[in-house]
């Protein structure tokens, strides 16, 4: 089950620039390996990629980078809030852009379909958690696992 948002898409210079901006703003250096990783992330806006997949794409396209560099860099990008690690099922975690994503994700465990839900729709729950427990939800960009409409219906048929 591959989960990508813009598989063979065009690069999106605006987004890529915005990412570079954030990296600089955080005081990180804009190196070649980082540019390569950002490029992959930019064309996969809305996608969820594993570190291995990112490494693979970079290798296909140009100068490969060392795996350890990829692992470390992705951690760094997460630390500055540019990307986010999402665990879909038991497979390795997947990286997902955070910038300009004011939504949450519903992920179907069966077919992998992801549905976007405006954060506003879930906000009331977060507010309630804060009121009752003083708990400040942080990862305002997370994935809720379950079964999508289509797969739910097929399941009912199977039971009949």
Using only the alpha carbons of the chain, give its radius of gyration: 18
Q: How many CA atoms lie within 13 A of 110 on its CB side?
A: 10
Listed in sequence order, the residues at least 6 apart from 69 whose beta carbon sits closer than 8 Å to its beta carbon are 33
127 binds, among its own copies, Zn ion, Mn ion, none (CB under 5 to 8 A by kind): none
Which of Zn ion, its own copies, DNA, none is residue 101 near (CB under 5 to 8 Å by kind)? none
Query: Would you give the binding string for Mn ion spanning residues 84-103, x where CB under 5 A is met?
Result: -----------------x--
**Cα gap 62→40, rounded to integer Å:** 12
Q: Which two tokens stand for residue 112?
A: 């992998």
Query: Which of 16, 46, 76, 109 is close enough to bind its own copies by CB under 8 A?
Result: 109
Rounded CA separation 31/50 (Å)? 21
Strand partners, 74: none
Partner whose binding site includes residue 117, from DNA, its own copies, Zn ion, none (CB under 5 to 8 Å by kind) = its own copies
Indicate whether 151 belongs to the interface with Zn ion (CB under 5 A). Answer: yes
Distance CA 44, CA 54 (A): 10
One residue of 93, 103, 112, 119 binding its own copies per CB under 8 A? 93
Q: According to the binding rule CB under 8 A, does residue 115 interact with its own copies? A: yes
Binding residues vs its own copies (CB under 8 A):
75, 78, 85, 87, 90, 93, 106, 108-109, 115, 117, 121-122, 124-125, 128-129, 132-139, 142, 144-149, 152
């Amino acid at each position: 089950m591959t989960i990508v948002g813009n598989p063979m898409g065009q690069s999106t210079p605006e987004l890529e620039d915005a990412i570079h901006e954030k990296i600089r703003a955080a005081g990180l250096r804009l190196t070649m390996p980082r540019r390569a990783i950002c490029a992959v992330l930019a064309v996969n806006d809305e996608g969820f990629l594993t570190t291995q997949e990112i490494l693979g794409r970079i290798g296909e396209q140009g100068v490969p980078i060392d795996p350890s560099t990829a692992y470390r860099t992705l951690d760094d990008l997460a630390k500055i809030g540019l990307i986010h690690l999402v665990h879909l099922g038991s497979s390795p975690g997947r990286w997902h852009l955070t910038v300009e994503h004011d939504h949450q994700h519903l992920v179907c465990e069966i077919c992998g379909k992801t549905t976007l839900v405006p954060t506003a729709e879930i906000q009331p729950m977060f507010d309630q958690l804060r009121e009752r427990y003083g708990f400040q939800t942080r990862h305002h960009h997370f994935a809720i696992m379950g079964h999508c409409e289509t797969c739910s219906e097929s399941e009912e048929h199977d039971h009949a």
